Every structure is written in C-alpha cells, then in structure tokens.
Chains A and B, each alone.
Chain A
Amino acid sequence: MHEILSKKQLSPNVTRLDVRAQRIAEIRQPGQFVIVRRAEGAERIPLTIADADPAAGSIALVIQAVGKTTRDLVALNPGDVIQDISGPLGRPTDLIASGRALCIGGGVGTAVIHPIAQGLQRRGVAVVSIIGGRSKEWVIFEEGLRKFGEVIVCTDDGSYGRKGFVTDAAKEMLAAGGVDCVYAVGPVPMMRAVVAVTKPLGIHTIVSLNPVMVDGTGMCGGCRVSVGNETKFACVDGPEFDGHLVDFDLLWDRLGTYRTQEQESMARHEESCRIGLEKPKAV
C-alpha cells in the first residue's frame, strides 16, 4: 500500500501525485519507471518516475488522464492509497558524461525529460530544454527544468513562449551546432519529428517509448517494439532506445490495439459516474 502524500494539477489533464515508496525513492535512476495497480481489478500500467525525494520516501508520478485507469488514478486524493507499485523498472537513461545535451519534452513527456535533465546536470553536462504544449496552460515542469539549465517554451498557439512546435525550436538550435546528444520524450508524432531532424545531422538521439505493458519484467512481451529491425521488449531492453533505429509506425500502431475496448471502458465509466452508481474505489 502506497499513500498519496500530495496532489497537484499541472495542466488541464495532467496531474502529479507524490506517493510513498521508500525503496524506489532511494534507488531510482533517470529513465526508470514503475508499474502501478491502483486497486483490486485495476489495470497494471507503467508510469515514469518524474522525481523522487529519498528523505521523504516519496516518488512523483505524473499522469495524463486519458482512459479509465488514468482517470481513476487522478481521482485519488492525499491520504488515499495505491495498492501496488513495483519497481524501479527498466534500464536507466544512457546519460552522456560531458558536453551539451538538448532535452526535448512534449506534453506529459516533459515529466519523463525532467529526471533525465536532472541526471545530466548532476554529471556536469550543460542542459538546454525545449518543452511544449498546445497553449500556456498545457506547459508543465518549466520551473523544475529551469534548475538544470536554459528552458525554451513553445506553444502551438503562441499564448506563451514562442509560437510553434518544439521541433521548430530544436531545428534552429541544432543548426547552430554544439549539441552532443538529444533526449526527446513526448507523443509518438513528436518523437518521430525530432528524429527526422536529428538523423540527417547525425546527432545521437535517445527517445523513451511508452507501449502497452502488463508485468514490466519481460515476462509477457506485450511491449514489443522494433529497434533496428530487431524486436525488443521496452520494459527490460528500454524504455529508452536510439531514436534513429525505432520503428515509430509500429509503436503508434500497437498503441491502438485496445482502442475499442478503451472506449467501451470509458463509456461505461462515464455512465456509472453520471448515475452515481460506481465511484472510483479509493480502497
């Protein structure tokens, strides 16, 4: 049982939960994730460890409420508990040892970029972050990332920072030179677009993949991704891979495996919420 210590709404559909998980808080490394099961009957889903406070024994989970499982999670409040958290899982980020890194975060992916930028800065790597959202209210982790270096904010509508996509800003920065490695995490189309920019320039680019997972220990193979034409399990071989080798079409495709079921589950969830029969169980 893992108590929720605090809760913060970061954007219209992104929530941060700080949750007690002493051991994970002590040993987690950038890039690693946990598998969370809210309660009996709930799904197991992977969530990146966005931050950790070993002294408080807590980890930060950043959740974008898109389906029933994530909506149930963000409905939890301080004092409520999450039944199961397992981890830290996955391989830690391959952090460069020196030089200058460009960290690109799109939407909720910015939460994944945060510990990477933190890890890089601790090693003495110069960090520049480019983060983006639809508009001002969708930009997350700006303040946190400023602690590790310069932050360039992009919004689609120009309501904050510069107008345009993160890839536009990235293009300019990369053209200017001096970037040794790019870390990009966000929606699949964004990561694909970043890779399209960095590949011709030959700049090593690490992306974090978010396929459907069940156990998170390599046992089920549901999280198969294709990297350099080889099938890999994102949970144990990743979740981060060389972006130039990732088959993003396949990833995007497999992410749609349960779209029909997700809609069914959401419809049922909304119906039961509306008539007040079934509230998300906090246990």
Chain B
Amino acid sequence: MSAKITTKERLKIDRQTMPEHDATARAGEFGEVNLGFTEELAMLEAQRCLQCKEAKCVAGCPVMVNVPRFIQFIADGDLAGAARSLLGDNSLPAITGRVCPQETQCEIECIRGLKGLPVAIGHLERYVADWAYRHANQIVPPSPSPTGRKVAIIGSGPAGLTAAGELVKLGHEVTIYEALHKPGGVLVYGIPEFRLPKNIVHEEVERLRQAGVKIECNVVIGQTYTLKELRERFDAIFIANGAGLPMFMNVPGENFKGVYSANEYLTRVNLMTAYKFPSADTPILAGKRVAVVGGGNVAMDAVRTARRLGAGSAMIVYRRTKTEMPARAEEIHHAEQEGIHFEFLVAPVEIIGNDRRWVTGLKCLRMQLGEPDASGRRSPVPIPGSEFVVECDVVVVAIGSRANPLLTSTCPDLKLNRNGNIAVDANGMTSLPGVFAGGDIVRGAATVILAMGDGKRTAQTIDRYFKQLQPNPQS
C-alpha cells in the first residue's frame, strides 16, 4: 500500500501527536505520561518518512538503528518485520523509544525537519517495541551456535544489558553481576516509573534471560569478588558499572536533614518504591516545598517526582537559562505542564536550617551569563548583592555524578584518567588485556543511549578480540 504513496502525499501528512495522560491528573500519580501511538497514528506517522537513500537519521543514532527500514515495515503493515529489523539493531528499543533525546540525535537529522517537524522516530520505535512484547512468538530470534567463550559484565544498566544482548546473539556465554537487588541499573533506580515503567525494564531483562544471559544480583565487584578473580574465570570482562557517586555542592548546610542527592531521592522512590510508604517499608521525606538544584534529565525526574509525592511547590533551581538546560525537550515540556516552577540564573550558596538542623530554605545568588565555557555554553557569573532565600523543606542536589571508585580502587593496574574514569583505547579496551569498559564509568555522567552505544560497540570488539585469540575453545 505504501508503495503507491507519492512524496507529495507524504509531505502533506502532519506529525502525529503522542497521546498523553492528562497533566493535572498525572501530577499526583506515578503512571506513565506518554500513552503510546495507536496503530492508526503509527501508520500515518510512518508514511511521513521520505525513505532517504542516505538517511542521516541513522548516522545520528549512537547504536546506528536503520531507521528508514523499520519505518517502511510499519508503513507496509508488517509489524513483525519492523520488530525484527529494530531488534536486530537495538537490544532495548522499548527503553530508548522512551528515554532517548531524539531531538538531538536522529530526529534533528531528519530531512522533514528542514520544513516543518521531523518524523517522530522515537514514538515509532516505542510503538514497534511495545508491539514486539505482545507478539514475542512472532519474532523469535535464531539461536546462535555456542562459541564456548565466557564474558562477565559488571553492571546491568543500559551499557551492560546492551552488551549482553549483542554477545549472546554472537553465541558467547554471558554473566552479568549487579550490585543492587534488581537488574537495570539507572533504568530501575534512577528513571521514574512515569517516564519508564519498570515492567518495561523487567521485560527487556527477561528477554535477555531467555536468550541465555545469566544475571547475578547482590554481587558487588570489588567487594564480593575482585576483578582479578573474574579475570581468572572469564575470557573477557566488560566493566559498565556507571557513574554512581553523587556530587554535592560543597555549600554550608548540605548535611541537614532534608537534603538529598538525586541518586538517593530517586533510588528511594523508584527502586525502593517509597511512594507506596507505609505499604512499602522505605520512607522518604516528601516535602511540601521542594527545590531541585540542576538542569539535566535527573533534575527533571527528581522535581516531577517531588510533585507526585505531593509537594505543593516543586521547583528547579538552575544557574543558567532554559536554552542551556541539558534535559530532554520533552521532559522540560512535561514538567512545565505539571506546574513545576523554574528559577533560572540562580545558584545556591547555602542551605539554611532551623535549630534542629531541618532544612528551611536555600540561599541563592542571581547570575548573569558571561563568556562561553569549555562546553560551549555561556557560563553563569554571580551578580553581587543579589542574595535571596528560596523557602523549602527538601533540597535535592542533581548536579551530576562521578565515577564510583569502589571497583577501580581495588584494582590498581587499571588505568584511570584524571576524572577517575576508566581510560580505554579506541576499541574500548582498558589497560588490562581482555578487560573492556564503557558507559558512564568511561564517559562520566552521560545518557542511556550513549551507554548503549558503548555496550553495542564493545560487544562487537569483544567478538573480534575472541576471533584473534586462538584456538577457539569449541573448535
């Protein structure tokens, strides 16, 4: 059917809007905001794709999803074909379809964006991935012949899960070690239910398990086992344990009761389901007035979580302007819809507390934008004498995280760069032969999709590394 559609006709179709849960109703609950395309919306949107010969969207994708191909399958009404095509390129499409910053990756490259709006690639990806769950029997992947090679993956976040998916496809035996009690890393402890439902992560993990990936939870590498011990038992190791060390502002009052790192705040709510307290045992200080410091996706997740926990006032305190915010456009849009207040060009200098050391406010300075810094963004400069106090009872610090030294400190042979991240060569190999690393432990805090890109590339590198090692244990 789509073969008959002309370019002119394609151009006439407007970008389809993602159905959303009502903003007022959702601000008090944790259900997913985006409801997903219907089949009709997906078909219409798929027809907007011009099927470029040299599709720039593919190059914009860190895992190089063949975008026009899977979209053509949707337009043709062949969803099983679309699912096989997509899953062949991307092990976790239901996740990336929800959390990728498409507007700066694939969609920014879309030719249709030159005049009007780009094809909704992310929404279509999510549509196909969700279809694939409901029709798993129609897309059974071929089972590879075992190579006899064993790979240990440290961390079950996006980098680790992606690498695991690619490595089992190639016939290698994969064991993932996860420090927490549930697999998923930042996908389960960091990203909230309303943005990425945990059953989606669970299903992605289950699919990997069915494909043969072993996952051992509650194993902290560096403590429960050393890297050296793993090297004796495995042919290759992929370190993907993330940037799990929260940064604080180093301002007075930061240890008052009511001050959280975003990691702690989100972990309590997401992993430990503190929003169900007292039905679940883990408590959280909900806060009537919550100030979240930072402008990234984590800050947006935290502030929208505060709103859902019942904060009458939930605000973002960010030292630059909306233009410089690193958060996804959709998250900022959703936050605005939900009544989140934004204080731009403001930097905290002190957390104020009462005599019992409970937080009562955040003392801030107003800023103005000066010269661009190393990141190309204009740096904020304080305006003298502009001090003021934001009244609040909970402060969440979401200004980034660094490499967690728990593993690297127990392994002095592993070379680090000056930020404490693991140093790797162009192939993702560390200073130790057969030990690879990727995701935030190499990059510093970045995004889910960049970590997945590392996972995918490293899996291919590990496969090549095995082929160079002779003899293959199975042959």
Contact = CB atoms under 8 A, between A and B. Distances in A.
Interface of A: 23-24, 27, 37, 41-44, 68-69, 72, 83-89, 214-215, 217-222, 224, 226, 231, 236, 250, 253-254, 256-258, 261-262, 264-265, 268
Interface in B385-405: 404-405
Interface in B172-224: 179-181, 189, 217-220, 223-224
A83 B181 contact: yes
B181 A254 contact: no
A176 B219 CA distance: 46
Tell which of B279, B280, B282 has the most Cβ of chain A within 10 Å.
B282
Interface stretch (B87-95, B264-272, B413-421): B264-272
Given A41-B273, A44-B272, A221-B261, A215 B281 contact: no
B16 interface: no
A219 B224 contact: no
27 contacts: A41-B276, A44-B181, A68-B281, A84-B218, A86-B218, A86-B219, A87-B220, A87-B224, A88-B224, A89-B220, A89-B223, A214-B268, A215-B180, A215-B189, A217-B404, A217-B406, A218-B244, A218-B245, A218-B404, A219-B246, A253-B257, A253-B357, A256-B257, A258-B283, A261-B277, A264-B278, A265-B277
Interface residues of B, number: 41
B272 A217 contact: no
Interface string B213-250: 00001111001110000000000000000001110100
Contact of A43 (B282, B404, B406): B282
The CB with the most chain B CB atoms within 10 A, among A83, A217, A256, is that of A217
A47 B268 CA distance: 19
A254 B257 contact: yes
A43 B261 contact: no
A122 B289 CA distance: 54
A220 B267 contact: yes
B263 interface: yes
Contacts of B279: 41
Given A43-B281, A83-B181, A88 B223 contact: yes
Given A84-B217, A87-B220, A257 B181 contact: no
A215 B179 contact: yes
A23 B273 CA distance: 29
Given A42-B281, A220-B264, A221-B248, A257 B179 contact: no
Given A218-B245, A221-B246, A87 B267 contact: no
Given A37-B181, A89-B220, A268-B278, 20 more contacts: A24-B224, A27-B224, A41-B273, A72-B281, A84-B217, A86-B180, A88-B223, A214-B264, A215-B179, A215-B180, A215-B267, A218-B405, A219-B189, A219-B246, A220-B246, A231-B248, A250-B255, A253-B357, A257-B257, A261-B278
A218 B406 contact: yes
Contact of A219 (B258, B260, B267): B267
Given A217-B220, A220-B263, A221-B264, A41 B181 contact: no
Contacts of B260: 222
A248 B281 CA distance: 27
B125 interface: no
Nearest to B282: A43
Contacts of A250: 255, 357
Interface in B268-299: 268, 272-273, 276-283, 285
A43 to B, nearest CB: 4
B9 to A, nearest CB: 52
B107 interface: no
B254 interface: yes
Nearest to B178: A86
A74 to B, nearest CB: 15
Q: Report which residue of B181, B263, B279 has the largest number of chain A beta carbons within 10 angstroms of its beta carbon.
A: B181
Contacts of A226: 255
Nearest to B286: A261
Contact of B244 (A41, A83, A84, A219): A219
Contacts of B357: 250, 253
Contacts of A220: 246, 261, 263-264, 267
Nearest to A268: B278
Contacts of B189: 215, 219
Contacts of B246: 219-221
The 4 closest A-B pairs by CB, nearest first: A261-B283, A220-B264, A86-B218, A219-B244
A116 B359 CA distance: 37
B179 A69 contact: no
A265 B267 contact: no
Nearest to B259: A224
A258 B277 CA distance: 12
Nearest to A257: B257
A86 B278 contact: no
B265 to A, nearest CB: 9
B179 A217 contact: yes
Nearest to B401: A219
Given A41-B273, A215-B180, A262-B283, A86 B261 contact: no
